[in-house]
Structure 1
Amino acid sequence: MAPSTKPAPEKLVTVIITTSPTPSAPSTELLEQIAVSFRKHCPPLIHCRVIAVLDTYDHISTKPRLKKGHVTPDGASKYADYKANAKRLILKEYAPAGRSYANADLVKTQEKAEFGSGAAAYASQDNAVVMNVTKTKDERVTFVEPVQRLGFGLAVRSALRMTVTPYVWIQQHDWALVTDIPLGPLLQLMQENKATTTSTEEEETGKGRQQQAIRPPVEYVCFPSVRMMEYATSDHVMLYPALRGLTQLHKQNFTVQSETEDGETATSRVPLTPLFLWHDKPHLASTSHYLNQVFPSRIAIPRGAFIEDTVGHLARDEMKEGNWKKWACWLYYPDEGKHLCVRHLKGRTWRGVEAELAAKLEYMRLNGLELNVQVPN
């Protein structure tokens, strides 16, 4: 394919950050680590539009159960401070070069996130969550603050509906990049290999198999964590004949050619292997494909649910029957899956640097261990 000049990656992608109560609140250390990893391993992500969904909790109780939306009174108080701190951080990180955002740059509106059955006449509520939305006037930064807990799935859907770019980078608040991500080549590959309306049965024919091996659709690319290393030869694939066959047919190093600023032709190779689950961890995806496949109706995902735990497994069941092309999910696969790309920061348990250090010192004291702490200058 002839090389072509494409828009800069930051013009094509919106970063969607989802965050919620964490033990490290009101510290923004988790988000700070993400920003640092973006700058080091994928700088365009810090220059994109960004939509941050600051989800809330469902209940205040004596014991925190963050995945269920339960926080303690202290956790609720700290989360209010955390949201203010997070907004300040994101406004600082995503401000255009040479300027900063002020209160006068912010515009406030309200939206609703509907969910569940639309037959509200038989219920005491309208099955919709009100969301307070704050945008910068240049629409570079958007904050979404629901008055009730959305959960990851509806948080992503709400942000997708506000997205104006053709692609999104989905970023949970406790995953950081640990290797360089070729965002430009990935985007070009996705633009050149969009899903079509061709029937899935075509893949079963010789002609269809040949065409699909050359130009399979690429609509979603996830990045490997520790548990996804060497995925193509793992039990997640090898135990299922259909998944083995799809991997043998489609796993490849895609070649992408582009024109540089000085008019030279640059060739990049992007290693991908088919992925057989729609994961929640950091991923790049087509905005329209996301909305059509994951959120075809208001009942697709319940309030409070994760995509991976619901639609993700439904997608996997379809893929086991050979219907992978419909979902077009891939895993970035450098060094044959031996290269780690993202690291989990354990947001549900990590309490921040100071709290973790204090806990360690207390453990050492109670167990009669020698305290030997070096304080940096």
Structure 2
Amino acid sequence: MGRKRGGNAESKLCWHCGGRGHDQSQCTAILSGDARHCFLCRSLDHMSTECPLRSNEPKQKDPPWVKELRQVGQVENASSRLSVVITTSPVPSHPATMMLEAVIASFQRVKGLAQCPLIIVCDGFKVFKKTTWKAGKVTDEKAANYEEYKSNLKKLQDDGRLPAGSKLVILEGHNGQAMAVKAGLKEVDTPLVCIHQHDLEFTFDFGLDTVLDLLEDGSPVKYVGMPLLVNLHYEGIAFQHHGVRVKPELHEGLSLMPIIFWYDSTHITSVRHYESLVFGPDESYAPGNFVEETFGVRQRNDIMANGMSAHPKYGTYHYISHSVDGSRRPLIMHLNGVRFLTPEQRLALGFPPDPPVEFYPSRTMTSRRQRKALRIGSARVGSSGVALAFGRA
């Protein structure tokens, strides 16, 4: 027998006056215009927004939600101009710290970068039945691995295996990349900052001091990004996908490419530029947001609509680095955190051992034709599986 719509009249409860036998659509207080009722204390003298009881309720803090700030020792011979903020979050290789240690070790390839104060921001997570790494959703098992990873980072601090004076900013709950960067900026004491991710390696020296001089001298350059392999020839991306023409420019002897998008990938800018523009009064972010997927899209739309005359507001450029043969080369390489595994983890899962670096095309080749040829050659390797090892992780 079907259930009657609306149920027993006597069971109706009015959320407005608290009376039974009618609902809010039939409430005489509302119909008469005397609609002042507080559902917190039941008073007819005020609304719930004015209730004294609300002052006793704990206020919800805005993200980022910082759980712990930890620093061991003091920075030695620290740069007074630049700090580095690395954002990290759950990935399959945790609880191992191998990937992050490799990233920090690559700082030695850039003169002066290893002497910069280091802030590592550990975002939180949400527990789900299925893991979605980018959304910060992990299973109970992956959550436990990440908690152990953060403990291992503290051990690296204590054992002096992280640069002296490095800060750990541990966030509670899933904040997202944008809020993680915002939390890291609060710990920066230098005017300039390098925003970096936990799965990007520096590959070559590029004259860091010259970049810092340029950013400090009031030039139109406000953001210097380090290109990856995928955006090495950005002028093609800008025109083919967005209809905007850009070409290399020379600034204080540096060859730079104007870009119309704020990449989250490695870049150097000023703390003031972040605070006044990216996190300025006209910008808002929800937990889980990425800067490039929100602010970056708004920047691109602005320039597509108004042309490059809108670009100076953002001042975003990519550094153009050249090999000895004159070809462009990427300054950072992607370790792909959601696929990265330690050798021990690969062995446990039955994957082949890591191949020699020459079989890893995304780290060694800049030509799409070369990479395609390598993949074809790899398929001919047959049962050894060495050339395909990274693709299976």
Counterpart among 41, 46, 49 of residue 114 in structure 2: 46
- The verdict on how the C-alpha distance between 1:238 and 1:74 changes in structure 2, with shifts beyond 3 A counting, is closer
Q: Which has the higher strand share?
A: 1
- The verdict on how the C-alpha distance between 1:170 and 1:370 changes in structure 2, with shifts beyond 3 A counting, is closer
- Equivalenced residue count is 275
Match of 2:136 in 1: 69
Match of 1:340 in 2: 330
What's the CA shift string for 1:27-57, capped at 9, x where partnerless?
0111111112111x21422211111111110
Aligned AA (1:192) = D
C-alpha displacement at 1:154, in angstroms? 0.4
Aligned AA (1:310) = T
Asked whether the 8 Å contact 2:196–2:267 carries over to 1, the reply is yes
Aligned AA (1:161) = K
Aligned AA (2:126) = D
Match of 1:254 in 2: 251
Match of 1:158 in 2: 183
- The verdict on how the C-alpha distance between 1:79 and 1:326 changes in structure 2, with shifts beyond 3 A counting, is same
Aligned AA (1:82) = Y
- The verdict on how the C-alpha distance between 1:224 and 1:360 changes in structure 2, with shifts beyond 3 A counting, is farther
Aligned AA (2:255) = P
**Any unmatched runs of 5+ in structure 2?**
1-76, 354-381, 387-393
Counterpart among 265, 281, 286 of residue 265 in structure 2: 281
Are residues 1:20 and 2:89 paired? yes
The 2-side partners of 1:174 and 1:298 are apart by: 31
What's the CA shift string for 1:87-138, capped at 9, x where partnerless?
3335624545xxxxxxxxxxxxxxxxxxxxxxxxxxxxxxxxxxxxxxxxxx
| Partner SS for 2:130 | coil
Match of 1:120 in 2: none
Match of 1:106 in 2: none
| Partner SS for 1:52 | strand
Return the TM-score normalized by structure 2: 0.65
Counterpart among 175, 191, 194 of residue 200 in structure 2: 175
What's the CA shift string for 1:327-360, capped at 9, x where partnerless?
0000001238721111111111223221123334
More contact order relative to length (CA 8 Å, sep ≥ 6): 1
C-alpha displacement at 1:220, in angstroms? 0.6
- The verdict on how the C-alpha distance between 1:239 and 1:65 changes in structure 2, with shifts beyond 3 A counting, is closer
- The verdict on how the C-alpha distance between 1:326 and 1:58 changes in structure 2, with shifts beyond 3 A counting, is same
- The verdict on how the C-alpha distance between 1:81 and 1:281 changes in structure 2, with shifts beyond 3 A counting, is same
| Partner SS for 2:205 | coil
The 2-side partners of 1:334 and 1:370 are apart by: 36
Aligned AA (1:236) = A
What's the CA shift string for 1:187-242, capped at 9, x where partnerless?
00111134xxxxxxxxxxxxxxxxxxxxxx1111111111111112x13235656x
Trace 1:223-372 onto structure 2 (pairs within 5 A). 223-232=226-235, 234-237=236-239, 243-244=244-245, 247-248=246-247, 251-255=248-252, 269-297=253-281, 300-320=284-304, 321-322=306-307, 323-335=310-322, 338-361=328-351
Match of 2:212 in 1: 187
Q: Which deviates the most, 313-322 or 272-281?
A: 313-322
Asked whether the 8 Å contact 2:249–2:258 carries over to 1, the reply is no
Superposed CA RMSD in Å reads 2.6
Asked whether the 8 Å contact 1:9–1:183 carries over to 2, the reply is no
| Partner SS for 1:281 | coil
- The verdict on how the C-alpha distance between 1:143 and 1:371 changes in structure 2, with shifts beyond 3 A counting, is closer
The 2-side partners of 1:337 and 1:359 are apart by: 39
**Any unmatched runs of 5+ in structure 1?**
1-7, 97-139, 195-216, 256-268, 373-377
| Partner SS for 1:18 | strand
Larger Rg: 2
- The verdict on how the C-alpha distance between 1:95 and 1:238 changes in structure 2, with shifts beyond 3 A counting, is closer
Q: In percent, how many aligned pairs have the same letter?
A: 29
The 1-side partners of 2:136 and 2:94 are apart by: 15
Aligned AA (1:63) = K
C-alpha displacement at 1:82, in angstroms? 0.2
| Partner SS for 2:230 | helix
Asked whether the 8 Å contact 2:177–2:291 carries over to 1, the reply is yes
What's the CA shift string for 1:145-197, capped at 9, x where partnerless?
12211111001011112322110011111111112131100000111134xxx
Asked whether the 8 Å contact 1:150–1:303 carries over to 2, the reply is yes
Asked whether the 8 Å contact 2:119–2:168 carries over to 1, the reply is yes
The 1-side partners of 2:163 and 2:84 are apart by: 14
What's the CA shift string for 1:52-73, capped at 9, x where partnerless?
11111022x2321111111111
C-alpha displacement at 1:12, in angstroms? 0.5
Asked whether the 8 Å contact 1:31–1:86 carries over to 2, the reply is no
The 2-side partners of 1:297 and 1:155 are apart by: 18
